[in-house]
Amino acid sequence: VEVATSILSRLEAAWRRSDVLFAMLAPEALLVQPIPLRQPFIFYIGHLPAFAWNQVARGLLGRPSFEAAFDALFERGIDPHDVDRHDAATPWPPLPAVLAYRDRCREALRGAIEDVQARAGTDVLAERGRIFALVLEHERMHHETLLYMVQQLAADRKRKPSDWPAPRLGRGAASTRIAVPRGEATLGAAFDALPFGWDNEFPERRADVPAFAIDSCPVTNGAWAAFAEAGGYETRRFWTDEDWEWKERADLHAPAFWAGTPGRWRCRGLFDEWPLETVEDWPVYVSAAEARAYAASRDARLPTEAEFHRAAFGAPEGRERPFPWGDAAPGPAHGNFGGREGGPVPVGTCPSGASAWGVHELIGNGWEWTSTPFAPFPGFAPYVRTYAGYSQDFFDGRHLVLKGASWATDDVFVRRSFRNWFQPHYPYVFAKFRCVWPA
Ligand code: AVJ
Ligand code: FE
């Protein structure tokens, strides 16, 4: 009963957050698709309940659909091969119908908790309430999707909540180069070590990581402006062939988060815009393609996933840590994640979240790009039989692993084994980077 109550209250909290986020949209924004690869907002109003219903009621309990067309229409948001599954000629259903569907799904889920628990002894997805953790994490993941879509939405189509946090302007810390000696890093996790993890987090894998040096802080807007103004976007040798071609085609001269012109850049937040000088110590949010061009300009490269782990969780005394700062459960003292700030903060201003080596904000203030293609660990199994394609569909060599968390990432994702992934030419994520060099 206690477990059921906690599942229910976590579901209800996630749903309330979903409703708060959708309330940021002006009504005319529902059909807007601010990111071409993503569906319009209305899709997500249906996707969150459809996903939960499809997983728990249809997938696990085998219940019949009450609205099969919506179950299918709202099932998946992004196709592995970037194909928009919704035929543009077919109009989306009216909002009241989608909201009625959402409410019916939520009601069915409230009623399904005990039925799922009854199968805990025989079904790995019912055991430890895994299917509900999955549904909860999916909903919370999409909260961040929504926020970075709202970020791209025109100002007159969104509404700032009255309690939106004030921006943290001001100076950050200067970045230094930190030497990390050779050692082992643990990636992933043993299946039984976590109450829930996505398929791509398992099993545990040890990597031997040669010594390297790494920026103590991520690259800032100010440093990026210097790169852009020195001709970084126009210097062919900093870019790989593919990245150059993409950048040329997109006609990119600045990060997707910037507006304005050279010397007069402005940085766009979710609802406001600032002259770059006032936020020059915020981490710069860029695509991996831009990040690796910047790294090349400094004779550096992006860290691998294993190097990120070594920098974040390794320690001179040998024993790896669950979190960069040690054993304490993640909270506001450890970094800018969990949606407590409304955007980035100046780099290096949360020293209590630094790793054993003194590397700052590896978790929080922006996801971090790695150079590692998203791929399964040896022994991978798509154990979520109701969603076997969650990771597998993206093991295509076209996605990179990101680690850490952004200001918008829920606390639930702050665990060592969590892996995010995006294409290197996807510039919309709250994703920062730092450089590494040979030792
Ligand atoms: C893990 C964040 C890359 O947003 O495409 C949501 C998560 N998968 N619904 C994404 C996801 C299906 C996924 N990322
Ligand atoms: Fe989804």
Tens-place pLDDT, residues 174-210: 999 999 999 999 999 999 999 999 999 999 999 999 9
- The CB of 77 under 6 Å from ligand 1? The reply is yes
DSSP tag of 320: P
Task: Sheet with 177-180: list strands edge to edge.
Answer: 177-180, 212-215, 436-438
Count of residues in the chain: 439
Provide the phi-psi class of 312: left if phi over 0, else alpha when psi is between -120 and 50, else beta. alpha
Given a contact cutoff of 8 angstroms between Cβ atoms, the answer to whether 295 and 240 are in contact is no
Ligand 1 touching residue 406 (CB < 6 A): no
The rounded distance, in Å, linking the Cα atoms of 413 and 253 is 33
Backbone torsion region of residue 361, taken as left when φ is above 0, otherwise alpha when ψ lies between -120 and 50, otherwise beta: left
Q: Which residue's CA lies nearest to atom 2 of ligand 1?
A: 420
Say if ligand 1 is within 6 A of residue 423 CB. Answer: no
Going from the Cα of 144 to the center of ligand 1, the distance in angstroms, rounded, reads: 10
- The pLDDT score that the predictor gives to residue 76 is 81
> pLDDT tens, 341-389?
999 999 999 999 999 999 999 999 999 999 999 999 999 999 999 999 9
Rounded to the nearest angstrom, the distance between the alpha carbon of 264 and the centre of ligand 2 is 38
Residue 239: the pLDDT is 98
Closest atom of ligand 1 relative to the 394 alpha carbon = 3
Distance between Cα 313 and ligand 2 center (Å): 29
The answer to whether 57 touches 108, Cβ cutoff 8 Å, is: yes
CA of 420 relative to ligand 1 center, distance in Å: 8
> SS3 string of 367-430?
EEEEEEECCCCCCCCCCCHHHCHHHHCCCCCCCEEEEEECCCCCHHHCCCCCCEEECCCCCCCC
Q: Is the CB of 145 under 6 A from ligand 1?
A: yes
Q: How does pLDDT run along the chain (439 residues), one tens digit per residue?
A: 778 889 999 999 999 999 999 999 999 999 999 998 899 999 999 999 999 999 999 999 999 999 999 999 999 866 545 444 556 667 899 999 999 999 999 999 999 999 999 999 999 999 999 999 999 999 999 999 999 999 999 999 999 999 999 999 999 999 999 999 999 999 999 999 999 999 999 999 999 999 999 999 999 999 999 999 999 999 999 999 999 999 999 999 999 999 999 999 999 999 999 999 999 999 999 999 999 999 999 999 999 999 999 999 999 988 999 999 999 999 999 999 999 999 999 999 999 999 999 999 999 999 999 999 999 999 999 999 999 999 999 999 999 999 999 999 999 999 999 999 999 999 999 999 999 999 9
Adjacent-strand bridge partners of 411: none
- Token digits for 355? 């790793």
Q: Is the beta carbon of 420 within 6 A of some atom in ligand 1?
A: yes
**pTM of full prediction above 0.85:** yes
**183 ligand 1 Cβ < 6 A:** no
- Report which bound ligand comes closest to the CA of 44: 2
- How far is ligand 2, taken at its centre, from the CA of residue 47, in Å? 7
Q: Note the ligand closest to the C-alpha atom of 419.
A: 1
Count H helices and E strands in the chain, helices first: 10, 12
Nearest CA to ligand 1 atom 5: 78
Closest ligand by atom to 146 CA: 1
Q: Which atom of ligand 1 is nearest to the CA of 78?
A: 5
Q: For residue 390, which atom of ligand 1 is closest to its CA?
A: 8
